Amino acid sequence: MATQKQKQWSVLAMNTTAFTVCFAVWTMFSIIGIQIKAELGLSESQFGLLIATPILSGALARLPLGLLTDYFGGRLIFSILMIVVAAASYGLSFATLYWHYLIAGLCVGLAGGSFAVGIAYTSAWFEKERQGFVMGIFGAGNVGAALTNLAAPLILLAYGWRMVPQVYAVAIALMAVIFLFFTYDDQVHFKTKAIMKQTPLSERLKPLRELRVWRFSLYYFVVFGGYVALALWLPSYIVNEYNLSITTASFITMAFTLPGALVRVLGGWLSDEYGARSVNWAVFWVCIVSLFFLSYPPTSMTIHGIDRDINLSFSMNIWAFGLLIFIVGVAMGFGKASIYRMIHDYYPEHMGVVGGFVGTVGALGGFVLPVIFGLAADLTGIRSSCFMFLYGLLGACMFWMHYAIKTEEHLERIRHAAKSNFLME
């Protein structure tokens, strides 16, 4: 008979591994999509929609999956979800027309909903003081994007792109079986289920009316939605901007996806130790400075001097580009962890609903942003316009966060003054 501690860490290990596999499946269009684009002759906008379609269904599935997890428990829901995604992934390999790929992408994209299941299931097994750390470990399953950057190009080059979803289908089906053998039903969902039977849905969704939840959602839209969008967009961006092979572009993208996943553990620990808000504010500053330089397109300028014209040119080489996306990836990894620690600080009893909603909005960023990136590139003819848009969006987030902090501090001073006056009387 396993002890409680052994059960905790077994569940955490299986949750993280299963989420890693699901995330790899969820982002595989970042690699196979380049081949599909070439075969079908797609525009940038059509390509953006293609790689973003799986993200849409994964995003929309998060809230209902979070509610189902609260009711039935993470073990059952996670296992069923992986079996469904395995079947959809295998079916993708037989698609031939553009709309086939879009429909198949919607089905495969359910893998992205695994986050809402796993985060609630993980949270249920651990005490409050360790929530940031353990959710950071689970969130490190984002490394699945890096796994795709590593494995998918090798499979594609050896056997063709259609073998990629077939291999992924076998992997996630095996993961579902292993998951069932090494996980346990948590006790929290039995209590939650009893409460849910007595509480109407409208009451359970009540926290979503609070502006704070929407603010957290916008933050997550940037740091997680931006992470997913760039993980999908960067391979094609690098191939076209720097004229590199898909394999080389995938490995360079790993400089963004891998640290962005792994540092989530450290981000969770720092949020526990120093406060999630402080970590998140630092993340925004690092990102906005890096995005400013990434936004600057290759530029030539002529200065008409007294005796002659002076020609100046600026362009970012691949090494500088790689360094900056590495920095952004690390910062986003910290941001993803700090935001979920903030959610637990304010809504510990509603992790399924609030965490699922915030995850939904964040994942929708992974759908919306690649489409916007494609439209921006087609309309402006500037490839770095994707970074320009992220820069503007992040600026809006920072303004809202600063205003919210100042408002909360002002209200706290008023409450403190009122309490002091009451005691004096």
The pLDDT of residue 289 is: 94
The pLDDT of residue 416 is: 63
- If you average pLDDT over residues 213-220, what whole number do you get? 88
- If you average pLDDT over residues 383-393, what whole number do you get? 90
- If you average pLDDT over residues 9-23, what whole number do you get? 92
The pLDDT of residue 216 is: 87
- If you average pLDDT over residues 294-316, what whole number do you get? 82
pLDDT-wise least confident of 135-139, 243-247, 407-411, 416-420: 416-420
Q: How confident is the model at residue 163 (pLDDT cuts 50, 70, 90)?
A: very high
Q: How confident is the model at residue 157 (pLDDT cuts 50, 70, 90)?
A: confident
- Asked if the model's pLDDT at residue 425 lies above 60, the reply is no
Q: How confident is the model at residue 173 (pLDDT cuts 50, 70, 90)?
A: very high
Q: Which residue has the tokens 């996630």?
A: 172
Give the model confidence (pLDDT) of 42-78 as tens digits: 888 888 888 888 888 888 888 788 778 877 888 899 9
- If you average pLDDT over residues 15-34, what whole number do you get? 90
The pLDDT of residue 209 is: 79
The pLDDT of residue 184 is: 85
Residue 270 exposed, middle or buried by CB count within 10 Å (0-12, 13-18, 19+): buried
pLDDT-wise least confident of 82-96, 311-325, 396-410: 396-410
Enter the tokens of residue 230. 């760039």
The pLDDT of residue 327 is: 93
State the Cα–Cα distance between residues 422 and 416, nearest whole angstrom: 10
State the Cα–Cα distance between residues 349 and 237, nearest whole angstrom: 42
pLDDT-wise least confident of 60-64, 153-157, 337-341, 418-422: 418-422
Cα dihedral 202/206/210/214 (nearest 10): -70
The pLDDT of residue 198 is: 63
Q: Which of 106, 94, 93, 99 is nearest to 52 (CA)?
A: 106
- Asked if the model's pLDDT at residue 418 lies above 70, the reply is no
CA 421-277-144 angle, to 5 degrees, is 155
pLDDT cut 90: percent of the chain above it: 24
The pLDDT of residue 341 is: 82
pTM of the model: 0.74
The pLDDT of residue 240 is: 87
Residue 363 corresponds to which amino acid? A
Phi, psi torsion values for 183, nearest 5 degrees: -125, 170
pLDDT cut 70: percent of the chain above it: 90
The pLDDT of residue 179 is: 94
- If you average pLDDT over residues 117-130, what whole number do you get? 79
pLDDT-wise least confident of 3-7, 9-13, 177-181, 239-243: 3-7
Residue 267 exposed, middle or buried by CB count within 10 Å (0-12, 13-18, 19+): buried
Q: Which of 171, 173, 124, 180 is nearest to 151 (CA)?
A: 171
Give the model confidence (pLDDT) of 335-344 as tens digits: 888 888 888 7
Check the CA dihedral 340-343-348-351 and report its sign: negative
Give the model confidence (pLDDT) of 234-281 as tens digits: 988 898 888 888 888 888 888 888 888 788 778 877 888 888 888 888
Domains of the chain with CATH codes = 4-301+311-424 (1.20.1250.20)
The pLDDT of residue 421 is: 58
CA 265 centroid distance within chain: 14
